[in-house]
Amino acid sequence: MTHKSMRKVMAAILSAAMLFQMGTAPATQAAVKVKLAKKSIVLTEKKSKTVKVTGVKKAKIKKVKWSTSRKKIATVKAKGKTAVKVTAKKAGNAKVTGKFTLKGVKKVQKVTLKVRVKKASKANNATKTPGMPSRQPAATAAVSPSALPATTTPSTNPATTTPTKNPDGFEPVLFKNATFENGTDDFVSRGSSKVSQADNGYEGKCLYVSGRTDTWNGAAIDVTSTIVPGAKYHVTAYMKQMSGAAAEIKCSAQTGSDYPAIATVTDAPSGEWVKLEGEIEVASSFSDYLIYFEIPGSAKADFYLDSVVITQVSKGKDVVDPNTLASIKDTYKNIFQYMGTCANYYGYGAKKDQLRKDDTINFIKKQFNSITLENEMKPDTVLGGSYNKKLISVDEARKLGYSIPDNYKEDKVPQLDLGAVDATLEFCAENNVKMRAHTLMWHQQTPSWFFTEDYNGKNVATTEVMDARLEFFVRTMLNHVMDKEKELTGKEGSLVYAWDVTNEYVHRTNEPTSPSWMDVYGDMDLEPVYVKKAFTFAYEELENRGLQDQVTLFYNDYDEYNCADKIVELVNYINSDKKVCGGIGMQSHLTGPENPTIDLYAETLDKFLATGLEVQVTELDAEVESNDLEDQAAYMKSIMETIVTKQLNRDKTVNPKGITGVTIWGLYDTCSWRKNIPLLFASGINDPKPSFYAFLEAAKAK
């Protein structure tokens, strides 16, 4: 916070305190803050909810206007001046905005409400009926029989719903009919549970799920290789939970880190067969897809599952062959040296094995000439995180090639996990792709034990001890990578062209691990000695190999358009004795159209280019407030046109290299760390969005 901002805050606090003491004084504009009783709501299709306005009296409101970002998802209706009614239309996400004009207040106040609409599911208690689908025995896993209690059935018989022909003429296709007559029908345990065949099913035999230790434990079937991308499926099943009381039961899908619900019964009675029924639309691309059953209402209860029928009720989504798409790197080859993406070698969920699967490997080779590991090169991963710490003797470390400085006085050192780093370097060598190394120093993702005496997680280490640890870590990382490059290609510096030495120091107080760098060194404002040392250690290793003019060391940060002056001041301090920091990384996690505006982003580029240092856009993604695909495309295009224009029209006498690279932070939306359509592809590499084509079009800017 600047001194000017601090003065404003203190003045506001003093004013508020005086008003409180006076009691009878009229309220100022700052004293009235319109709020909503809720920040977000979840609705089921066709349901409504009224959210109240708080923080302001009705008599104070002169005018209010409500709007929704996606009318097809949710509609809004004012309920007087102090409430809004939100009605869910179809599954999806929307944002409701209320604009308030208050009496005696010039500035319009705005409130927002996040709305998530989920599909309606049909679920009923049911008994055996003559209309059950016919049995289709299949070869299954080994059977584990058990003696089970007798079945209790309800006294009513609801009608059975059968999927009918869709308006588009698609005839429903039976996808799976799990009867469990001959085994477990491809169902496996999820979590600590065990699955086995049992008697006394809803009809004949059934699946018995036991040994649960958490609510998400249950039974699952992997349909990754057989389910049709983009298609809609109708699911029915019968469950009997044995918790001894009414409990919620549920059927869901798991794809990557998403868990969309298919059907839920909130109060399923214990010991009775209950019908689950619902539909789900499959993403057009995914790395894994499970359908599973669980008891969210009980962590330990056993349950039985029977008559699982999954029917495809719509055709799959039309997808694009990624091999036919224009190439990002080729489109921009005469403007930027590097066009990259972030990826994961191992990863998880939708991010799993991105650098090990042929489809994503070929996609990356075609579209990009640079990659950044999303997480696998961060200190937290390399050092083993909070739970996988391994210490080795200094002698053993030296045998492994670690760089142990003379001032390192401890007898042990952390063993570094560089398996994913080595494998990624091999990927780069094999596929003619370069790499940004991210990152050596970051307060948010370095295990707290690294900053304590004897690495024991207790008392904070001294500055002398941390100086030695910092030097060990930085020098070892650079030397390991350069040695690996020489092993793979015969030449050091052949694969990694940039290092993010320090990440987000300007935001050092934002959720650091505890303890972290500041606990050791204190807050050194914009003259952090230890950050300068990190750059110096890294630069010296490049000098030792003659690579100081070939590999660039970067300072990397987010929200850079709101702290550009601080970043420039920090980098100037780092380079005050010698130019060891050669570049500024603009993460560019954007939310259009206001954060930032195009003008503010352009102004930030100007400030960084004026330093004469290389500039790279290192983690680009762009959400928009409307969550609309066309709006996102327009904003992304404007941002890229700004970057292109600044690069082409820069003063080359001030900044010879200018903007040397742009990295998009993820392959597609469903593997992004952000939730609202931030990238160029939607659910997979075969699902380009309008923003992809807008991104390419922006290369025509002058």
DSSP 511-552: S--SS-HHHHH---TT--HHHHHHHHHHHHHHHHTT-TTTSE
Residue 134 has pLDDT above 70, yes or no: no
Q: What pLDDT score does 213 carry?
A: 96
- Confirm if 257 and 182 have CB atoms less than 8 A apart: no
Question: With bands split at pLDDT 50, 70 and 90, how would you rate the model's confidence at 31?
Answer: low
Average pLDDT over residues 301-326: 93
Catalytic amino acids?
504, 619
Residue 136 has pLDDT above 60, yes or no: no
Nearest Cα to 664, choosing from 686, 685, 646? Answer: 685
Residue 551 has pLDDT above 80, yes or no: yes
273 or 258: whose pLDDT is higher?
Answer: 273
Encode pLDDT of 62-113 as tens digits.
Answer: 889 888 888 878 888 888 888 899 998 887 778 888 888 888 887 888 888 8
* Candidate from 113-117, 387-391, 589-593, 620-624 with smallest mean pLDDT: 113-117
Nearest Cα to 268, choosing from 296, 291, 292, 290? Answer: 296
Encode pLDDT of 506-533 as tens digits.
Answer: 999 998 888 999 999 999 999 999 999 9
Residue 5 has pLDDT above 90, yes or no: no
Task: Report how far apart, in Å, the C-alpha atoms of 64 and of each of 109, 570, 638 are.
Answer: 10, 45, 32
Residues of each domain in the chain carrying CATH 2.60.40.3450: 26-118
Question: Domain 26-118 carries which CATH code?
Answer: 2.60.40.3450
Encode pLDDT of 386-405 as tens digits.
Answer: 999 999 999 999 999 999 99
* Candidate from 72-81, 497-506, 561-570 with smallest mean pLDDT: 72-81
Encode pLDDT of 572-584 as tens digits.
Answer: 999 999 999 999 9
Q: Which two tokens stand for residue 123?
A: 């679920």
Q: What percent of the chain has pLDDT over 90?
A: 69
Work out the number of other CB atoms within 10 angstroms of the CB of residue 409. Answer: 10
The pair phi, psi for residue 134, each rounded to 5°, is -70, 150
Q: What pLDDT score does 597 carry?
A: 98
Please report, for the chain, how many H helices and E strands are present, in that order: 13, 31
Q: What pLDDT score does 349 carry?
A: 76
Q: What pLDDT score does 58 carry?
A: 83
Q: Which of the listed ranges 124-138, 463-477, 508-522 does the model predict with the highest average pLDDT? A: 463-477
- Confirm if 257 and 290 have CB atoms less than 8 A apart: no
Question: With bands split at pLDDT 50, 70 and 90, how would you rate the model's confidence at 640?
Answer: very high
- Confirm if 290 and 221 have CB atoms less than 8 A apart: yes
Work out the number of other CB atoms within 10 angstroms of the CB of residue 673. Answer: 15
Q: Is the pTM of this model over 0.85?
A: no
Distance CA 579, CA 559 (A): 25
Residue 674 has pLDDT above 70, yes or no: yes
Q: What pLDDT score does 154 carry?
A: 36
Q: What pLDDT score does 165 carry?
A: 57
Distance CA 500, CA 211 (A): 47
Q: What pLDDT score does 100 carry?
A: 85
Which residue type occupies 439?
T
Average pLDDT over residues 229-247: 96
Nearest Cα to 495, choosing from 657, 338, 336? Answer: 338
Residues of each domain in the chain carrying CATH 2.60.120.260: 122-312
Question: With bands split at pLDDT 50, 70 and 90, how would you rate the model's confidence at 237?
Answer: very high
Encode pLDDT of 142-195 as tens digits.
Answer: 333 333 333 333 333 333 445 555 656 789 999 999 999 999 999 999 999 999
Encode pLDDT of 347-371 as tens digits.
Answer: 987 788 999 999 999 999 999 999 9
What's the whole-number average pLDDT of the chain? 88
Encode pLDDT of 438-454 as tens digits.
Answer: 999 999 999 999 999 99
Average pLDDT over residues 5-27: 40
Q: Which two tokens stand for residue 595?
A: 């954060």
Superfamily of structural domain 122-312: Galactose-binding domain-like (2.60.120.260)
Helix or strand (DSSP H, E) at 430:
helix 419-431
Residue 46 has pLDDT above 90, yes or no: no
